[in-house]
Amino acid sequence: MISALEKFDSVTAVGILARAALSIENHNNPAGALKLPEEALVRNAVIAEIRRTIGVQPDDQSPRTLERLGDALDTECDSLIGPTDSESALKRLSERGELPSDLFEIRIIPNLKEFHGRKFQTEKELIERTIRSPDQEQHFGPPATADEPFLISLFAKYIPNEYPLRSFTMLVAGQRNGLMLDVHQAWRIYPDKVDLSGVTNLVDMLRRFSDVFGAEIELGGKKGNFILAANLPKNQNIKTSFKIERNIGAQGKKTDLKIITVTCFVQKNPQGTSDQAALATGINLSQYAEVIKSRGW
């Protein structure tokens, strides 16, 4: 093992090496961001040691040298976890919210495919691009308290367009299950529709989006367009659902067709006494569809 990693367990060391490799490929990739208090010093020591091992100068930043450094870091990862232990080690990284996002297998719920129809392939590519190379990401780790989600990841990526009004931020939310990421939500957030000023994290971004396109829901005694976490009533199993609302006009005519989707992640709460709903949203899909269609979708 590299000497700078000797005091770490193998899973932590693999995480440090994986993030170092990602930062070498692209220093702006948030998946390569530092996770541990002393990780910057450890990373520098690791890279310096590998440079000496492969015989390159400390200031050599040529593409070929960076490629060799990345390969050497990958090889060191393989030597730490071994072929039989690699999957379990990666699953532990996933549980802690430290797995590089390009290693996830992505599974998108059928409702998203149904909503986007023949344009789903384009949306699928945007979702995968956002997860694989996000501008921002936020992860909830293992169960800790009953008032927040767990094993959930959010990713955001700015998607520019030659027409400014068509530029947007893609926001994706998924549940981690080992190396699988089950995507339940993916929204285009246009800055002229959703005010993101002062937003500090991706949960806040989703809350702002829900404030604009939301439809009120009630779960576990909580009401709102967005509910971070709530205990579910006994025997109530809520999954993504659709409903259609029609307002009746003065002459008895049906007007203002609204399609509402209710989406949440259903989880066992940390006490194990009941299920809980996490990142629950009620969204007016009709309103949302009108906006994205007006932007060339």
Q: What is the pLDDT of residue 248?
A: 42
Dig out the tokens for 244 from the structure.
Answer: 């259609």
CB 97 within 8 A of CB 141: yes
Per-residue pLDDT reduced to its tens digit, 67-118: 898 888 888 887 776 654 566 777 777 777 777 777 789 999 998 999 999 9
CB 208 within 8 A of CB 199: yes
Residue type, 159: I
Q: What is the pLDDT of residue 262?
A: 85
More confident residue, 195 or 275: 195
Strand spans (E) along 30-151: 105-108, 136-139
| pLDDT, average across residues 36-40 | 86
Dig out the tokens for 141 from the structure.
Answer: 């780790």
Query: Could you tell me the residue ranges of all domains in the chain?
Result: 3-103, 105-294
More confident residue, 44 or 238: 44
Q: What is the pLDDT of residue 144?
A: 66
- Cα separation of 198 and 188, whole Å? 19
| Residue 220 pLDDT class (50, 70, 90 cuts) | confident
Contacts of residue 249, Cβ cutoff 8 Å, sequence gap at least 6: 255
More confident residue, 74 or 253: 74
| pLDDT, average across residues 221-235 | 81
Look at residue 281 and give its three-state secondary structure. Answer: strand
Dig out the tokens for 107 from the structure.
Answer: 């599974």
Per-residue pLDDT reduced to its tens digit, 139-164: 988 766 666 788 899 999 999 999 99
Q: What is the pLDDT of residue 185?
A: 94
| Residue 269 pLDDT class (50, 70, 90 cuts) | low
More confident residue, 202 or 144: 202
Distance of CA 3 to the CA centre of its chain: 33
More confident residue, 31 or 35: 35
Residue 23 has pLDDT above 70, yes or no: yes
More confident residue, 28 or 257: 28
More confident residue, 200 or 22: 200
Residue 168 has pLDDT above 60, yes or no: yes
Question: Can you say whether residue 138 is alpha, beta or left, with left for phi > 0 and alpha for psi between -120 and 50 degrees?
Answer: beta
- Cα separation of 3 and 186, whole Å? 42
More confident residue, 266 or 211: 211
> What percent of the chain is predicted at pLDDT more than 70?
85
Q: Which helix (H) or strand (E) is 83 found in, with range?
A: helix 63-95
Dig out the tokens for 188 from the structure.
Answer: 């285009």
| Residue 135 pLDDT class (50, 70, 90 cuts) | very high
Which range is most confident: 20-29, 259-268, 280-289? Answer: 280-289
Q: What is the mean pLDDT of the chain?
A: 83
Q: What is the pLDDT of residue 247?
A: 46
- Cα separation of 294 and 148, whole Å? 35
